[in-house]
Amino acid sequence: MRNSSRGAVDPFIVMDVMEQARAAEAAGRHIIHMEVGQPSSPAPEAARKALAEAMENDALGYTVALGIPALRARIARLYGEWYDVDLDPNRVVVTPGSSGGFILAFSALFDAGDRVLLGAPGYPSYRQILKALDLNPVEVQTAPENRYQLVPQDISGTDCEGVMVASPGNPTGTMLGKPELSALVDAAQARGASFLSDEIYHGIDYDKKPVTALQVSDDVCVINSFSKYFSMTGWRVGWLVVPEAQIRQVERLAQNLFICAPNASQVAALAAMDAPDELQANLAVYARNRALMMEQLPKAGFDRIAPPDGAFYVYADVSHLTKDSRAFAAEILEKAGVAVTPGLDFDPVRGAGTLRFSYARGTAEIEEGLSRLTAFMAARG
Ligand SMILES: Cc1ncc(COP(=O)(O)O)c(C=O)c1O
């Protein structure tokens, strides 16, 4: 059987780290997980209850391709609650995670060979999904002084049919303010490029509120998910907000690519949206963890870090400690029993000198991880 060249994408290194951590655990070691970007909390109780009830009373067959209407309406209402944006529910498309949303959005907006501008460091699957769809990721090295986000000159100076941003971003957790986001949307529109905004970490923010691209323009594609703030990674449910003119195009693709997002997960997601106490309690844990990370990582020797605006990651420059972040992460796993992610996942150019620490787990685990990292760095000298 032949393999396609489109399928020759790089592995997602964090998944490889997870596998190494699993192997160490299977061999009897206790590992602290600072590699995974997922909450350790379950879906909100209300979500689990709603699903249990639905399983008794409903066949849970296919839903319509764009998602359960009540869920689309509730997501539209969220834009009023969070950003004071009046959103037509018809523009909301429920997807199998934001990962499914990327496939749908990229297929709907781009033709084979189109170039999509991305900032590095960034979430690795953007470029891998683009490649698998015969599209061309064009990665721009973003600058620390721009908080590792794209700037309008990156767009005006590069031939591209699409531009993708993430705010808060992964791995940096930095956010784009309204003027910056607005300038990027203008620059993309000026060159006729589609603008995509990954907003999966909205809700997980600390000192200031994130801005949605929908506050700036209706002619954008927003990608979001129940995975992070709503603590539902494995349920595989997310959403897109698309311009009105794209709805039917996206619907036809969704019908054929996925039929629908998992019905059970849509039922649970709808109930999760009305569980603010539990979700805000999760957020309080991340805030506490963030404070611990910012206080103790520098003391341990990881002092080239900036406070993240959102998400649950700290991206550290470790270029003074190693020239090979993959080997360094393996050494930390081996000697300290802490799994962390090498920056190469997020930035093939500069990532050999960076690491990403996730603080999505419970506070006791983060405390233990920090004390192990401190001891490891002290022993390293
Ligand atoms: C920035 C970003 N976008 C998208 C995803 C994919 O999330 P999901 O497919 O679970 O919605 C992730 C996962 O970590 C992420 O960090």
Instruction: Say how far apart CA 23 and CA 238 lie, in whole Å.
Output: 31
Phi, psi angle pair for 320, to nearest 5° = -85, -10
For residue range 274-321, list pLDDT tens digits in order: 999 999 999 999 999 999 999 999 999 999 998 899 999 999 999 999
One-letter amino acid identity for 256?
N
Mean pLDDT in residue range 345-357: 95
For residue range 177-229, list pLDDT tens digits in order: 999 999 999 999 999 999 999 999 999 999 999 999 999 999 999 999 999 99
User: Average pLDDT over the chain, rounded to whole?
Assistant: 96
Number of domains in the chain: 2
Question: Do 220 and 87 lie in a common domain?
Answer: yes
Q: At what angle do helices 97-109 and 124-132 cross, to 10 degrees?
A: 50
Protein residue with its CA nearest to atom 4 in ligand 1: 98
The three-state secondary structure class of 35 is coil
* Last residue within a domain, chosen from 224, 247, 274: 274
* Last residue within a domain, chosen from 274, 304, 325: 274
Q: In the 3-class helix/strand/coil scheme, how is 154-219 assigned residue by residue?
A: HHHCCCCCEEEEECCCCCCCCCCCHHHHHHHHHHHHHCCCEEEEECCCCCCECCCCCCCHHHCCCC
- Residue 354 sits in a domain whose CATH number is 3.40.640.10
H/E run at residue 314: strand 313-317
Atom number in ligand 1 closest to CA 99: 9
Whether 265 contacts 237, CB under 8 Å: yes
Q: Domain of residue 322: give its range.
A: 13-42+277-380
* Last residue within a domain, chosen from 256, 274, 292: 274
Mutating to test ligand 1, I would choose from 225, 229, 230, 231 the residue with most ligand atoms within 8 A of its C-beta, which is 225
Asked if pLDDT for residue 380 goes beyond 90, the answer is no
Question: Do 120 and 248 lie in a common domain?
Answer: yes
Mutating to test ligand 1, I would choose from 149, 167, 228 the residue with most ligand atoms within 8 A of its C-beta, which is 228
For residue range 183-197, list pLDDT tens digits in order: 999 999 999 999 999
